Amino acid sequence: MLDSQLTAGAIFRDEAAYLTEWIAFHRLVGVDHFILYDNGSSDDPEAVLAPFRAEGIVTLVPWPIPFHEKAAQRAYADCLERVRGRARWLTCLDIDEFLFASGQASLIPVLREYELAPGVVVRWQVYGSSGQQRASSEPVIARFRQRAATNWIRNRRTKSIVDPARTLRPIGAHHFEFLNGDLAVDETKQRVGLTPKPRFKKRLRPLFGRLGPLLRFFDPYAAGDITSRKVSVERLRINHYPIKSREEFERKARFKREKKRYAGVDYFAYHDRNEVFDPILARYLPELAQAMTRANRAS
């Protein structure tokens, strides 16, 4: 018998303030185990994670590999091996990504519809700052309720949910390679491959970063894409909060600049998209508040 129906892996650094919400939310939507890779945090994540580790639902792995040495991809490879034969599904996410089933409370019944596929790719919906300047202790999913248009080009980006038994290895942080050359599907059950990795985009980032929200048809940050361009989030979806408030972004960017990801670009302006009011995760807030309170009292 498998130990887990759905395991989530993530690599993080200095995100202790967000871990309780992220874990509590994903428990509500069906994740039953978490494998978390600490990439050199200095904000005491062990204290935050203590009640979850005591409960046996979080495995914490020290992961001091420099991020530019493919720390995320290597963490996901390790995660895949840890759950092979033990989990029915594995998803690898960032702490600013919230995976859920658009029309149901839990992911598990929806994932049963994709049993024949080795994996499912799930599209982003990118949320902006909602005009907020300062950080807050309120949940991320409560504070940010405005997002980019559904079909904005950045929302073509995906993360994966995979069957470990049929998965060979991660390809970067977003995609995986499967046995016998098989392909993942999107939520419409269309098989999707990967497009060639563009080499020119990094050189154009200073130009397109400054143009920021004026852009509609170019993504200067994508290192690759899937062959399907249709952004469908009617069954499965990831709410992505890459910037949060201005204060939180600037705090994160100080670390990110160590690996030069943000050099010469206005990443905040590009992602500060607030065209659509969409508080879709508000339905989880009452249960989330209770779960976070219990965890905070136990920590």
Which whole-number Å values give the CA distances from 31 to 126, 239, 257, in the listed order? 22, 16, 32
The CATH number assigned to the domain holding 93 equals 3.90.550
pTM reported for the whole predicted model: 0.92
The rounded distance, in Å, linking the Cα atoms of 131 and 153 is 22
Least confident of 2-11, 29-38, 190-199, 229-238: 190-199
Residues sharing a CB contact under 8 Å with residue 1, sequence separation 6 or more, in sequence order: none
The rounded distance, in Å, linking the Cα atoms of 3 and 32 is 9
Which whole-number Å values give the CA distances from 8 to 21, 22, 69, 79, 164, in the listed order? 14, 11, 22, 9, 12
At residue 261, φ and ψ (nearest 5 deg) are: -65, -35
Domains in the chain, number? 1
Residues 51-95: pLDDT tens digits?
999 999 999 999 999 988 999 999 999 999 999 999 999 999 999
Residues 152-182: pLDDT tens digits?
989 999 999 999 999 999 998 899 999 999 9
Pairing mode, strands 97-101 and 236-240: antiparallel
- The predicted pLDDT at position 296 comes to 87
State which residues form the domain around 56: 4-298
Q: What residue type is 91 in one-letter code?
A: T
Question: What phi-psi label fits residue 14: left (phi over 0), alpha (psi between -120 and 50 degrees) or beta?
Answer: left
